[in-house]
A = this chain, B = another copy of it.
């Protein structure tokens, strides 16, 4: 909450979203859409409940999110990003890109949630063949719930849960799935390390890392 007191746009941004947990709360809402309090708690393992409540108030006051009364029959409050909050997507994308190399040395003690993988795919991958028919890839991180990539019209969207008729199903520990999706690891190589797959291996060619294009602009 404490301001840096600097007339600089970066410092002003950090005044709002620089506090601990704030950007991860935005991450959750960006990936999952509207969330209940307990959804956020589940997606933010390690946060203290009083901190979550505090941060939600702060972010609401800053105009990053709103608190909505869901209509019956749900009868619960939902937290939703505002337009201003959604505008943080490019920030999250660049943080993700910078942190990608840090994922190569996984720590066994780290928590993991399937939708983090889905969100990363949505932020960092594009459909390399926008004209081709839509297809789904189902990811099964070992010991976690499955998540589905829907590849269509140039983009990659994700959804929790299994796919109806996936072109490809991949099952492996998260780091292995990441390696395959980013193209750093071939399907054969990953299989040797314990990845299980089923379906059309060519479906992987449909996803491509967002990067080369951006580098030109920047």
Q: How far is the CA of A199 from the CA of B100 in the complex (A)?
A: 47
Q: Which of A12-20, A52-60, A69-77, A130-138 contacts B (4 or more CB under 8 A)?
A: A12-20
Asked whether A129 is an interface residue with its Cβ less than 8 Å from the other chain, the reply is no
Interface residue tally for chain A (C-beta within 8 Å): 51
Given known pairs A213-B217, A214-B217, A217-B213, the reply for A9 and B103 (CB within 8 Å) is yes
Nearest B-chain residue to A20, judged by Cβ: B18
Nearest B-chain residue to A27, judged by Cβ: B10
- Contact residue among B7, B88, B109, B112 (Cβ-Cβ distance under 8 Å from A112): B7
Candidate in A5, A11, A46, A100 with the most chain B CB atoms within 10 angstroms: A11
- Contact residue among B6, B46, B89 (Cβ-Cβ distance under 8 Å from A110): B6
Please state if B88 and A13 are interface contacts (CB–CB under 8 Å). Answer: no
Q: Which residues of B contact A13 (CB under 8 A)?
A: 95-96, 98-99, 102
Candidate in A10, A14, A97, A100 with the most chain B CB atoms within 10 angstroms: A10
Q: Which residues of B contact A107 (CB under 8 A)?
A: 5, 7
Q: How far is the CA of A4 from the CA of B43 in the complex (A)?
A: 12
Candidate in A27, A102, A111 with the most chain B CB atoms within 10 angstroms: A102
Please state if B4 and A116 are interface contacts (CB–CB under 8 Å). Answer: no
Asked whether A45 is an interface residue with its Cβ less than 8 Å from the other chain, the reply is yes
Please state if B23 and A110 are interface contacts (CB–CB under 8 Å). Answer: no
Give the contacts of A62-102 with B (CB-CB under 8 A). Answer: 87-100, 102
Given known pairs A14-B24, A214-B217, A217-B214, the reply for A100 and B9 (CB within 8 Å) is yes
Nearest B-chain residue to A21, judged by Cβ: B4
Nearest B-chain residue to A90, judged by Cβ: B94
Asked whether A167 is an interface residue with its Cβ less than 8 Å from the other chain, the reply is no
Asked whether A218 is an interface residue with its Cβ less than 8 Å from the other chain, the reply is yes
Q: Which residues of B contact A88 (CB under 8 A)?
A: 98
Given known pairs A91-B91, A218-B90, the reply for A6 and B112 (CB within 8 Å) is yes
5 closest cross-chain pairs (CB), A and B: A13-B99, A9-B99, A7-B110, A12-B102, A8-B116
